[in-house]
Structure 1
Amino acid sequence: MPHCTPRYVCLSDLHLGAAYSTLSGADPARCSDTLAALGAAMRQLLAQLAPPAGEPPPTLILLGDVLDMGLSPMGAVAQAFAVFAREVLVDAQGRPLFAPRVLCVPGNHDHHLWRAAQDAQFQGALDAGAIPRDLLEHTALFDTPGATLPPSPLLTRLLRSVPGLAGAQCDIAYPNLALLDGPRQRCVVLHHGHYVDPMYRLVSSLNAQLPGPGGRSARPADTLTVAQLEAQNGAWVDFLWSDLGSAGSTGQSATTLYEIMRDGGASHAFSQRVARQLVAAIGATMGTSGRAAIVQGITLEQLVLGAVDATLGQAAESQRGSYAQVMAPADVDDLRWYLAGPVRRQLRREGLQHPDALDLAFVFGHTHKPFEDQLPVAGFARPVSVYNTGGWVMDQPTMAATQGASAVFLDADLNMAALRLFNDPVNGRIAPVQARGTGGFGDAGNPMLAALADAVAQTAPTWQAFSACVQQATEQRAATLLDDFFHAPTQERA
């Protein structure tokens, strides 16, 4: 089999700047043992996979929630990203390991990166003497040589602060990014994953129930495009993670949404608070009271409460009850909906007249549960290869074998393989780092999977050191969460 090198490397859900991240920790300006071990192992791995002379190094894709912007101080977030770049993106001599251009697909925690990119693109047009009609709705789907993506001023400046990365630039792709091979037969779509989650489509759910002009029903959810999803729900994502991140009076033991999701009483109070604020905001916009009948005798307040309970409330219940499986049946249905609906429509709008014939793969994060699988999806002739990149945070004080993190490697022909970096240690043992495919017949002839597996074997000692650091970090975070709960004042846990 010929030498195979990665053209893209994808990471997500680092949550840099968060105290509950296994990469940054309580002091964001200090390099954690886990981050140092990851950098050392990744340097050796990429050296094994180095491209021949004259070929470009891999492009790094940051697939959302890289920054913990919703719940952590901005200074901590910026410091943590700069430390990450210094430890992981350059070699021991300070030379770049990746291509100068980094691609970022924001998620829900770092959705503000998209807002900043919209502003930067608009201001750039003004500097060129044009006044756009409005802010950019979404970026071009495909990363092609002629595609122009808006820059991230924040991430670009932080990258350039690292010696050896003076020429780096981070561009924003949102909500989806797609890669297409030369024959236009194989396609990989990348999305953080928040619009697969019904909690982040709440406003679209409300719109589908509210009457439209002339009493007609609003646009049904099963006809939504990616642009409409963002237009309808983008402000809700901002609202959820900026205005409600600390959850106010629900108690110190529920200062993050993850903690709220794990606590039945706190999640109910949180949902009710969300509903009250939404009723007030929608009522002010519509010039009506929350008790006014909107459709078929149902009041605005009842409609919003029902929608919040069906999305945010059920999401909380799912978060508390689904740690034994990577995706609950309802989550799989949501994933199929996103692929068969918004993704397929976007592929057609971007010029692929027969997306059903594609060899399609989908990469996302968000759930913090890495996995690789093949999923039959309506509208596609072949099963879709699905890769989840997991996450680097402790979501609960007890270990769950489904939680962990992964990186996805793609070669120039879009052959794919996952580098399963870790799953939570169970019974004091952590699984070794390993290369993984989807488990189908295609794994046997997958050059990226074979090359990655060989490179992991060649660098096994450094990955063993990394695994030891991850195990220690996750166990320490779990102990801290338990200690915080049992030592919190009684009234805060009530």
Structure 2
Amino acid sequence: MALKAPRYVCLSDLHLGAAYSTLTYADAQGRPDPTRPSETQVAFGIALRQLLSAMDGPPPTLVLLGDVLDLGLSPMGDVAAAFRCFVQTVMQEGGRPVFAPRVLYVPGNHDHHLWRIAQDQQYQDALEQGRVQDDLIKHTALFEPAGEEAEASRIGSAMLTRLASRCPGLADARVDIAYPNLGLLDASRRRCVVLHHGHYIDPMYRVMTMLNAQAPGRSAGRNPASVTVSDLEGQNGAWVDFMWSDLGSSGLTGAGAGKLYEVMRDAAASHDFSQRLAALLVAKLDQNFGMSGSTDVFHGVTVSQLVLGALDATLGRGAESQRDGYAEVMSADDVADLRWYLSGPVKLQLEHAGLTPAALDFSFVFGHSHKPFEDELPVAGFDRPVGIFNTGGWVMDQPTMTSTQGASAMFIDEALNVASLRLFNDPVNGRIPPVHARGVGGFRDRDNPMLEALTAGVERSAPAWETFSRNAQQATQSRATLLLDEFFNASVGVIASARAGMQARAGAKAKASA
């Protein structure tokens, strides 16, 4: 039986160029080489091509939904090399393109700088055409116009287009920017999918809007129905770009920020962290005070047991609360923020496009959180529950293995049915879930040909996906171990430096006394 191919394939949070991305090649010591694909990336490209070749239809459009380039923490040269590598490994095979020539790119917080470049380019293009604008545009149109005007409605990324088009077989490739939302609408104008990276759902990235809402005379800003996507970008864009999207090109400062991001992400939530920290403390007690870990303190309780107990009562308890957070894909506050974005800025943008949100069969796709999931959510202003799909992420930026962290790819057909290809979740107890297709588990799944086709396609390409799963598990486990090693090597260095400083000061004091 022929399987109908998707119209769109959506990936996000690849963090290309970053050492903590599972798609970046690293040697046994964890040293990254962005010019080479990781084994996980190679296996993913092979499996994805086999899956798409099992489906009948034209090549789908690739949608890159933000944080695909890790401009926030990686130098531009590394990012460009990593993107070129991704193009060669995933977007083509033997000089033949896997996807349609036109790629749609929706920037996120780590690659927001691409939107800044696109804004400048659009302004220059307007000047060349004799049009004068008061300021840079704040966002692109939610939907593309029909016919020949469609491609002209997006802003091209000259850099990414050049990187892609230089790959054999991709001379016609073009990367266009849509921001902050990309809307897809079926011919009947009754079914709609909106894609957004997810950073404006997160209060951290719309802090300026929240501050404006607190200012005297700005009470209207507290009403989500009054905040537009133009408001969000106009008020917060510079903040996002300054703090989160260009540190990778800031030399040692950027590298230091990256290390801080990796090490302090959630080290206390690792059980191994507590165990190794206890061992480190006991070793220092033995070295400095002659107190062996087996020394009896009182009633048979040893030094080692006492230290570990103290850590469990402090760091351990905090770690457990962190694990509770990682045991769920979204907290109650996260859900409230998601509802805020959908019932406010997204709803307003739909209405501005001439649609009635309440009448739509509506789905929303986002990433950012690195926790893939599929669900339905009642949202004010929409009569039907909204289909919610999260693409997860491809990074291991903390030493904690959590079953909720992982990555998905979204497959969307011509009729805008959405299905999730669950690629991997962190291995827990040494096991990683196999690649499989998922829907929201509600009424949409009962008649979703995209979900049926994706399920059958995964079965037909199962050996390739099994290879991918093995590589993904190895990559996440190796990266988590390296993160722990880096943290404890740094800890030993800090302690040694502090001890040397104390000895130097003591020697100077003794010399002065003499």
TM-score (norm. length: structure 1): 0.83
CA contact (8 A) 1:179 1:189 kept: yes
- Letter of the 1:128 partner, please give it: Q
Aligned to 1:295: none
Q: Distance in 1 between matches of 2:36 and 2:246?
A: 29
Moved more, 201-210 or 129-138: 129-138
Alignment gaps of 5+ in structure 2: 26-31, 269-319, 499-514
Could you report, residue by residue, the CA deviation over 1:154-187 in whole angstroms, capped at 9, with x for unpaired residues? 1111111211111110100000011000101100
Indicate the residue corresponding to 2:197 in structure 1.
192
- Aligned residue for 2:50? 44
* Paired residues of 1:50 and 1:57 also in contact (CA < 8 A): no
Distance 1:168 1:104, change over 3 A: same
Paired position in structure 2 for 1:81: 83
Shift of 1:211: 2.1
Within the alignment, does 1:202 sit opposite 2:207 as a pair?
A: yes
RMSD: 2.5
**Counterpart among 239, 243, 246 of residue 236 in structure 1:** 239
Higher Rg of the two aligned structures: 2
Partner of 1:164: 169
Residue 231 of structure 1 aligns to which amino acid in structure 2? G
Q: CA deviation at 1:349?
A: 0.8
Between the aligned partners of 2:195 and 2:359, the Cα distance in structure 1 is 19
Tell me which residue corresponds to 2:459: 457
Gap change, CA 1:211 and 1:456, over 3 Å in 2: same
Report the alpha carbon displacement of residue 490 of structure 1 after superposing the two structures with TM.
5.0
Deviation of 1:250 after TM superposition, in Å, equals 12
Asked if 1:326 is matched to 2:329, the reply is: yes
Map of 1:348 onto structure 2 = 351
- For the 8 Å contact 2:34–2:78, the answer to whether it is kept is yes
- Pick aligned residue for 1:483 from 482, 485, 503: 485
Q: Distance in 1 between matches of 2:223 and 2:207?
A: 11
1:125 is aligned to 126
Aligned to 2:340: 337
Question: Helix, strand or coil: the match of 1:422?
Answer: strand
Decide whether the 8 Å contact of 1:189 with 1:361 is kept in 2.
yes
Match of 2:104 in 1: 103
Measure, in 2, the Cα distance between the counterparts of 1:170 and 1:362: 22
Distance change in 2, residues 1:130/1:249 (3 Å): closer
SS of residue in 1 equivalent to 2:175: strand
| Cα distance in 2 for residues equivalent to 1:400 and 1:144 | 43
- TM-score, normalised by the number of residues in structure 2: 0.80
1:5-40 CA deviation, whole Å, 9 max, x = no partner? 200000000000000000013100012101100011
Q: State the identity as a percent.
A: 62
Per-residue CA shift, 1:165-216, capped at 9, x if unaligned?
111101000000110001011000000000000010111111111224xxx6
Give the Cα separation in 1 of the matches to 2:231 and 2:321: 26
* Cα distance change of structure 1 residues 492 and 366 upon mapping to structure 2, 3 Å threshold: farther
Report if the CA contact (8 A) 1:376-1:384 is conserved: yes
Partner of 2:40 in structure 1?
A: 34
Note the 1:308-327 alignment, pairs <5 A.
322-327=325-330
Q: Which residue number corresponds to residue 379 of structure 2?
A: 377
- In 1, the alpha carbon distance for the partners of 2:254 and 2:143 equals 43
Aligned residue in 2 for 1:432: 434
CA distance in 2, matches of 1:492, 1:341: 48
Q: What is the match of residue 139 of structure 2?
A: 138
Q: 1:33 to 1:244 in 2, by over 3 A?
A: closer
Q: CA deviation at 1:240?
A: 1.4
For 2:338, the aligned partner's letter is L
- Offset from partner CA, 1:136-169 (integer Å, 9 cap, x none): 2110001343341111111111111211111110
CA distance in 2, matches of 1:249, 1:170: 31
User: What is residue 473 of structure 1 aligned with on the other side?
Assistant: 475
Query: Shift of the alpha carbon at 1:321?
Result: 5.6
The within-5 A match list for 1:288-303 is: none
Judging changes above 3 Å, is the alpha-carbon distance between structure 1 residues 218 and 185 closer, same or farther for their aligned structure 2 residues? closer
- Over 3 Å counting, the alpha-carbon distance change for 1:94 and 1:128 in structure 2 is same
- Separation in structure 1 between the aligned mates of residue 414 and residue 406 of structure 2, nearest angstrom: 27
Query: C-alpha separation between the residues in 2 aligned to 1:58 and 1:184?
Result: 21
Q: 2:259 corresponds to which residue?
A: 255
Q: Any conservation in 2 of the 1:204–1:221 contact (CA below 8 Å)?
A: no
Cα distance in 2 for partners of 1:422, 1:68 equals: 21
Partner of 1:14: 14
Give the secondary-structure state (helix, strand or coil) at the position aligned to 1:420.
Answer: strand
2:120 is paired with a residue of what secondary structure? helix
Divergent runs of 4+, >6 A: 243-251, 317-320
Find the aligned partners of 1:77 and 1:184 in 2 and give their Cα distance.
38
1 CA distance for matches of 2:251 and 2:400?
23
Cα deviation, residue 131, structure 1:
2.9
Asked whether the equivalents of residues 261 and 319 of structure 1 are also in contact (C-alpha less than 8 Å), the reply is no
Once the two structures are superposed, the pairs formed by residues 57-96 of structure 1 within 5 Å of their partners are 57-91=59-93, 93-96=94-97
Change (3 A) 1:200 1:157: same
Answer whether contact 1:71 1:256 (CA < 8 A) is retained: no
CA contact (8 A) 1:369 1:388 kept: yes
Q: For residues 285-323 of structure 1, give each alpha carbon's deviation from its aligned partner in whole angstroms, at most 9, with x where no partner exists.
A: xxxxxxxxxxxxxxxxxxxxxxxxxxxxxxxx9977621
SS at match of 2:221: coil
Superposed, 1:382-401 pairs within 5 Å as 382-401=384-403
What is the identity, as a one-letter code, of the residue corresponding to 1:386?
I
Output the amino acid matched with 1:24.
Answer: T
- The aligned amino acid for 1:239 is F
Question: CA-to-partner distance for each residue in 1:243-298, whole Å, 9 max, x for gaps?
Answer: 7678999996972435444268xxxxxxxxxxxxxxxxxxxxxxxxxxxxxxxxxx
- How has the CA–CA distance of structure 1 residues 468 and 195 changed in structure 2, closer, same or farther, with 3 Å as cutoff? same
Q: Report the alpha carbon displacement of residue 398 of structure 1 after superposing the two structures with TM.
A: 1.9
Whole-angstrom CA distance in 1 between matches of 2:130 and 2:321: 50
Compared with structure 1, are the counterparts of its residues 178 and 170 closer, same or farther at alpha carbon in structure 2 (3 Å cutoff)? same
Rounded to whole Å, the distance in 2 between the matches of 1:251 and 1:107 is 20
Distance 1:251 1:485 in 2: 15
Q: Is the 8 A contact 1:207 1:218 kept in 2?
A: no
Show the counterpart of 2:297.
none
Alignment equivalent of 2:183, drawn from 161, 166, 178: 178
